[in-house]
Amino acid sequence: MREFNEIYTNKNNKNLNQVEDYYNNIRDSYEKLFAKIKKVVEKTKNHCLEEAVYKMKKEGKCCIRVTGEEIEKAQEKAVEKECQMEIEVCGEAVSDFYYLLRELCSAAVITDEEAMEIADAVQEEISVENLSLYLKRKIAA
């Protein structure tokens, strides 16, 4: 995910350090989630292959077929099960960020328009498309 100053340029020269801190909390939460997903995906892939080798030896076969689809399904289940806490933390970080924007608007620190611009920029950054591309790059690395 990009830095706050890359997704939003402070046009009014207001001090948005608190907003940036909350945004960085979102980034950190997603980084931790992605790191865990990467570990789970690799661990599950290895487990599937080890299981196939065990089955092959047990059945006395010289080879056994394991499809990519089978591995992907196992990885999805494992990620869903093992990353639940990190997913919740990401949701809480996003919720806290939007709460802060509402509070800053209520206190007239930022305008409604500026809050909407910031919220839209952050929403675009954490969109499913952007996050899935980022995750694919992270796993491939």
List pLDDT tens digits, range 50-82: 999 998 899 998 888 889 999 999 999 999 999
- pLDDT higher than 70, residue 11: no
Is the pTM above the cut of 0.85?
Answer: no
> pLDDT-derived band of residue 12, with 50, 70 and 90 as boundaries?
low
Q: Are 8 and 120 in contact (CB under 8 A)?
A: no
Residue 130 is predicted with a pLDDT of 76
Residue 13 is predicted with a pLDDT of 60
Cα distances (angstroms) measured from residue 35 to each of 10, 29, 67, 85 = 31, 10, 25, 13
Mean pLDDT across the chain, nearest whole number?
Answer: 89
Q: Is 70 helix (H, G, I), strand (E, B) or coil?
A: helix
Q: What is the token pair recorded at 113? A: 């328009």
Task: Write out the CATH class of domain 16-140.
Answer: mainly alpha
Exposed/middle/buried for residue 50 (C-beta within 10 Å: 0-12, 13-18, 19+): exposed
Distance from CA of residue 139 to its chain's centroid?
12
Please give the sequence-ordered ranges of beta strands (E in DSSP) within 7-51, or none if there are none. Answer: none
What whole-number percentage of the chain has pLDDT above 90?
Answer: 60
> pLDDT-derived band of residue 25, with 50, 70 and 90 as boundaries?
very high
Q: Are 139 and 38 in contact (CB under 8 A)?
A: yes
Nearest-angstrom CA–CA distance, 122 and 98: 10
- pLDDT higher than 80, residue 90: yes
